[in-house]
Amino acid sequence: MKVLQVGKFYPIRGGVEKVEYDLMLGLSNQGVRCDMLCASTEDHPEATIHLNEFASMFVMPTQINAAATKLAPKMIMKLRKIAKDYDIIHIHHPDPMACLALFLTNFKGKVVLHWHSDILKQKTLLRLYKPLQDWLIKRADIIVGTTPVYVQQSKFLRSVQNKVDYIPIGVDVDQKLSPIKESVKAEYLNKKIIFSLGRLVEYKGYEYLIKSAKYLDDSYQILIGGKGPLKDELQQLIDSNNLSERVKLLGFMTDEEVTGYYQACDLFCLSSILKTEAFAIVQIEAMGYGKPIVSTKIPESGVSWVNKDGVSGLTVDICDEHALADAFKQIFGKEDVYKNLSNGSKNRYLEHFTRQKMVDKCLQIYNKILA
């Protein structure tokens, strides 16, 4: 079996390319030939990167930025040259460049379409891309989502449910004790630490997480990691509500810092409000450390499937700071409630969301379409 993952960018920054990369490593470590073709970002030069005996990355330079997407025409030429070497091409959506490259390649083998999310905000891009997207949906031998909910409810996939499946995202978390953990605990001594992590953008719903602190006492500490365009606006919201003692924006965090804060926190919160949040890898990272999750019930999103209400945490309505505060109080209110959700969080991670689980499910799907 020879597989080519196609789509997104290098260096690895976002969740989609992280899934591709982890699948490539996981499959190749099991002796499956699995390469990756993608476009570059950050002016990274064209390159072929050999990762191990069974895995190489082909990075093609981005030459055009248009309609909120990056175009790397050399991906087309590269795919035309190498497609015949593979049994399966695994396309990661949304990525118009990957779809266009496949369309112009005349590949005769099996196609897996990995539907990470609908195109929601880029209306102009969707109008231009939809005919190609429709072709890709029809061309795919199987379409996989990251949760059963998202692919069942996507309006673009309603007519092809007969060939829809899902592969939950899986990650490996660093279980070694972080040297930062104890310093974070000491800084917020005797506080109930609520951690959140992500870009400071509208769909993350951080304004509601910040406002929830108005209904909490001084024993709670909300820490929000990440950078983004709403930093000043969110800081102003904190200051205007006199919440600087209960809420802190941490800014950009290194991987080492993220691990330390995951380990040090008592609870993780995902306050997102839009379907743009299709899965939220940060949830399963926190679950890997046995942290109870408070997340939101985003319509048509898979977020609430990941965090199972009453098992790994609690789910609340979107855009509701009162509900967030009440969920925090409920979890911390009784020791046995906290302990049960903490254990449930870790167990759900081990059952569904390790990298090996993701790789195993992917391999099952490959074998199914090749049978």
Extract the tokens encoding 320.
Answer: 């509701």
Residue 119 has pLDDT above 90, yes or no: no
Asked if residue 181 has pLDDT above 90, the reply is: yes
208 Cα distance to chain centroid: 21
According to the model, what pLDDT value does residue 65 have?
A: 62
For 136-144, what is the mean pLDDT?
97
- The model's confidence at residue 9, banded by pLDDT at 50, 70 and 90, is confident
Q: How far is it, in rounded angstroms, from Cα 236 to Cα 276? A: 25
Residues 327, 201 share a domain = yes
Q: What is the SS3 assignment for 225?
A: strand
CA dist list (Å): 208 to 16, 205, 261, 316? 27, 6, 21, 12
Rounded Cα distance between 54 and 33, Å, is 5
Query: Which parts of 51-119 fold into alpha helices (H)?
Result: 74-82, 96-103
Residues 214 and 157 placed together within one structural domain of the fold: no
Nearest to 71 by CA among 129, 150, 121, 18: 129
For 146, list phi and psi in degrees, rounded to 5: -95, -20
CATH code, 152: 3.40.50.2000
Q: Which H or E run includes 212? A: helix 206-212
- pTM across the whole model: 0.90
Whether 176 maps to a domain, the answer reads no
User: How high is the mean pLDDT of the chain?
Assistant: 94
**Residue ranges making up the domain that contains 275:** 181-352
Check pLDDT > 80 for residue 158.
yes
The answer to whether residue 97 sits within a structural domain is yes
In angstroms, the CA 370 to CA 51 distance is: 26
Instruction: Quickly state the pLDDT bin for 142 (edges 50, 70, 90).
Output: very high
Closest residue by Cα to residue 298 from 122, 117, 162 = 117
Question: What band does 143 get if pLDDT is binned at 50, 70 and 90?
Answer: very high
Cα–Cα distances in angstroms (integers) from residue 240 to residues 47, 256, 361, in the given order = 49, 32, 49
pLDDT digits (tens, 9 = 90+) for 17-27: 999 999 999 99
Question: How many domains, the chain?
Answer: 2
Describe the crossing of helices 281-288 and 255-264 by its angle, rounded to 10 degrees: 60
Is residue 225 domain-shared with residue 286, that is, in the same domain?
Answer: yes
The residue written with tokens 């006199």 in the block is 242
Residues 29 and 11 in one domain: yes
Q: Can you tell me the mean pLDDT for 84-104?
A: 94
Whether 216 and 292 map to the same domain: the answer is: yes
Question: For 104, which DSSP code?
Answer: T
| Integer-rounded Cα radius of gyration of the chain | 21
Residues 25 and 164 in one domain: yes
For the cut 70, the answer to whether the pLDDT of residue 66 exceeds it is no
- Candidates 77, 87, 79; CA nearest to 6 is 79
Does 282 fall in a domain? yes
Residue 70 confidence (pLDDT): 63
Q: By three-state DSSP, how is residue 197 classified?
A: strand
